[in-house]
Structure 1
Amino acid sequence: MADNAGREKLQRVLDWAVAEVGVPGIVAEVRDANGTWFGTAGVADIRTGRRRQPGEHVHTGSSGKAFTAATMLALEAEGRLSIEDPVNAWLPGVLDVNGYDGDKITIRHLLSNTSGLFVTGLAPELAHRYLTRSSFVKHRFDDFTIDDMLRLAVSQPPVGEPGERFAYSNGGFHLAGAIIEKVTGNSYAEEVEHRVTRPLGLTDTYVRPAQETVYPDPHPRAYSKLFFKDGVDPAAVTPENWESLIEDPGLEPLDVTEFNSSGGWSAGNVVSTTGDMIRFINALASGSLLPPAQHRAMWTTVSTEGGHWMPHARYGLGLFEFDKAAMGGRTLRGVGGSLWGSWSFAVGTPDGEHTIAVHTNTEWRTWDLMFKIIEAEFGPIGG
């Protein structure tokens, strides 16, 4: 448990995020043996100055991947499938294009981002739609079908053999969502509700319907600077150089609150609150949602080194665990995600007794913010 001085440190980090990092508004909710603490800095609405508040509905981005993995593992526990099943067992032929082999790529590969699928976010079709401010405004209400997403998943050649390396691919989770629907005969959203949100009592959490472009109240406005400079060729964007191609940080943010996020689907289109996300990661971290075998599978992690992803972390099935050495000898587990106008993460101890959930109403800006928050709440970090 962090003492009062620790919470003062945490509040200073929230204030720093607004003053120095350029975050419009940030919230942090902490739950431990002594109850709940809630802190905020900045605003929910730049125009009105409205402050952020507890219970806001926010987009959790790629945290939705953990909902997909948990649903899939619940199906495995019932004997409906195995995560060692090849994709072709459930979606025959879908992966047998462009150099992929659906007999070799398994559900586990999809959920651990080790399938060899390319980084879906770099698909030229997506880049052309959302690369610059002007293209985002033009395409912000475009609707994606499941067939669209499965086609995008294999629209570029593999980046490796199945199991060879970590590469963060939304397409793998779209395939997983399609398998969930094939196995159950129900929609992905229905299965997440049945197997995750309802059992955990996550009353403010849901998979966002494809055509929904607004959030329930209360919610913050969402602001983005996640755009490339005018004239950037989408084909030239790589995991190595994309940060250098981002537009001038001095430009005013674009209000992206109203936005069709259907392209996230089973790779990340869950709306939730910080309180619900604490309950969610506590259940996954501690093993209270899944049987022991599936819990072990979820937390069997792979290296993310060379994957141009979050530092000091290994990837499980839809979630992450920090390297103990980097966290001062502690084991910390979490989920997180970012998209236009939203960045969130929830991190806690494996026993579910000490957890923090954070949200900014703009996308990821720097890993320093996450690690400063973790250090303020859990104590010194670094190997």
Structure 2
Amino acid sequence: MAAHEKLQQVLDWAVAEVGVPGIVADVKDGDRTWFATAGVADIRTGAPRRPGEYLHTGSSGKAFTAAVLLALEAEGRLSIDDTVNAHLPGVLDVNGYDGDKITIRHLLSNTSGLFSTGLAPEVAHRYATRSGFLRHRFDTFTTEELLRVAVSQPPVGAPGERFEYSNGGFHLAGAIIEKVTGSSYAEEVDRRVIQPLGLTHTRVRPAQDTGYPDPYPRAYSNLFFKDGTDPATVTPENWESLMEEPGLPPLDVTEFNSSLGWSAGNVVSTTGDMSRFVNAMADCSLLPPAQHRQMWTTVSTEGGHWMPHARYCLGLFEFDKQATGGRTLRGVGGSLWGSWFFAVGTPDDRHTIAVHTNTEWKTWDLMFKVIEAEFGVSIGA
């Protein structure tokens, strides 16, 4: 069976069995390109998904943050082994953290010891339930609020000791970018990543923005806890058991203020632009060789409640070669209410696939089935 036929079967399976309203896959394989869809962009009208849609890339934005900081290092403006206190003195010196020991590298590799920011009660209570989301969907977060949340709970470990996925670390990284350059985070991403790569359909979403340019899919979410759940009791171990019962209709969350993501993931783009970005991260066409090596230096994610069979780099991931039969596959990904995006490719930038669903992450099986269909690699098999 041709590779694209296998991939189409996976997309159809995602809609029929996983509960994805609509899904797209954008493939580049040498000189071959292919765009496939299944499901719908709009449940109400039945409109299909189509090429060129604007979509939220979630935590894929972390790779943009890492790329800017590595570009600043290449210019001699900073080192990623600088401590946080070297640029933001005192910001981390609360609640058991030590800004003289946590480095920019720790922030970008999720090994700083910062807790999982999404579980902070002052954030979780706003969006934990459907009713909470509807009340707070247009709330705007300032940088000061995000930095305060980042250190609002005690450390989960010493710097460099373990992996724990933390948006707060990337919010600190964004604040360092602004402190060093004197420009806004969005301006620096545009200057150092978007413009050099010609990503004409990509931008950091402005804090006040709550929609998308045309064309775009409607976004649907079931990412809510049962009514009455106390966010303070949610942990990385028990959160799945507290989710809403399956079978409830999704909530349309298309209009939503995503300033909570900021430098941890608030980039709006297209599958085509994101494929170009991943290729540039893979083939050393944006960063000098020394910084390129830094970006792809991996850390173990074991015990970090994250994607299985993968190691974390600086804002990106690489699948464990033991899980891929020795092949190197790298990528970015991110999920939030109503959107899940990932792009995976080979280091030579010859073969890349970008996938988006207009609902949040449902299961890693979908990603792994896509990779098996497109690259012939059975992750973890």
What is the TM-score with the length of structure 2 in the denominator?
Answer: 0.99
> Unaligned stretches of 5+ in structure 2?
none
Q: Identify the residue that residue 359 of structure 1 maps to in structure 2.
A: 356
Match of 2:9, as an amino acid? R
**Aligned mate of 2:224, from 222, 227, 230:** 227
Matches of residues 74-93 of structure 1 in structure 2 within 5 Å?
74-93=71-90
Which of 242, 259, 263 is equivalent to 1:262?
259
Give the equivalent residue in structure 1 for 2:328: 331
Q: 2:129 aligns with which of 125, 128, 132?
A: 132
Letter of the aligned partner of 1:246 in structure 2?
Answer: M
How far apart are residue 89 of structure 1 and its match?
0.5
Q: Does 1:368 align with 2:365?
A: yes
Q: Which residue of 2 aligns with 1:347?
A: 344
Q: Distance in 1 between matches of 2:103 and 2:348?
A: 30
2:119 is the counterpart of 1:122: yes
C-alpha distance in 1 between matches for 2:258 and 2:125: 16
Q: Does 2:160 correspond to 1:146? A: no
CA–CA distance in structure 1, aligned partners of residues 109 and 348 of structure 2: 23
Alignment counterpart, residue 168 of structure 1, candidates 165, 168, 182: 165
* Range with bigger deviation, 71-80 or 32-41: 32-41
Give the 5 Å matches for 1:287-306.
287-306=284-303
Q: TM-score when scaled to structure 1? A: 0.98
- The partner residue of 2:194 within 189, 193, 197 is 197
Which has the higher mean CA deviation after the structures are superposed, 144-153 or 28-37? 28-37
Cα-to-partner distance string for 1:239-282 (whole Å, 9 max, x where unaligned): 01111111011000000000000010000000000000100000
Q: Deviation of residue 362 (structure 1)?
A: 0.2
What is the distance in 2 between the residues matched to 1:203 and 1:32? 22
- Consecutive unaligned residues of structure 1, counting only runs of 5 or more, are none
Partner SS state of residue 346, structure 1: strand
Map 1:44-55 → 2, pairs under 5 A: 44-55=41-52
Cα distance between partner residues in 1 of 2:49 and 2:165: 31
Q: 2:308 corresponds to which residue? A: 311
In the alignment, is residue 243 of structure 1 matched against residue 240 of structure 2? Answer: yes
Check if 1:35 corresponds to 2:45. no
Give me the whole-angstrom Cα distance separating, in 2, the residues matched to 1:334 and 1:44: 25
Match of 1:70 in 2: 67
The Cα of 1:327 is off from its aligned counterpart by: 1.5
Distance of 1:166 and 1:160 partners within structure 2: 9
Cα RMSD, aligned residues only: 0.7
What is the rounded CA distance, in whole Å, between the counterparts of 2:34 and 2:245 in structure 1? Answer: 36
Q: What is the CA distance between 1:303 and its match in structure 2? A: 0.1
Cα shift readout 1:33-89 (whole Å, capped 9, x = no counterpart)? 132100000000000000000000000000000000000000000000000000000
Distance (whole Å) between structure 2 residues aligned to residue 42 and residue 278 of structure 1: 22
Aligned-partner SS, 1:176:
helix
Q: 3-state DSSP class of the match of 2:12?
A: helix
Residue 249 of structure 2 aligns to a residue whose secondary structure is coil
Shift of residue 23, structure 1, vs aligned partner: 0.1
Q: Deviations over 1:96-116 (max 9, x none)?
A: 000000000000000000000
Q: How many residues align?
A: 380
1:58 aligns with 2:58: no
Aligned-partner Cα distance in 2 for 1:339–1:170: 12
Cα deviations by residue, 1:298-323 (Å, 9 ceiling, x for unpaired)? 00000000000000000000000001
The CA distance in 2 between the partners of 1:94 and 1:34, in whole Å, is 49
Identity across matched positions, percent: 82
Does 1:207 find its partner at 2:185?
Answer: no
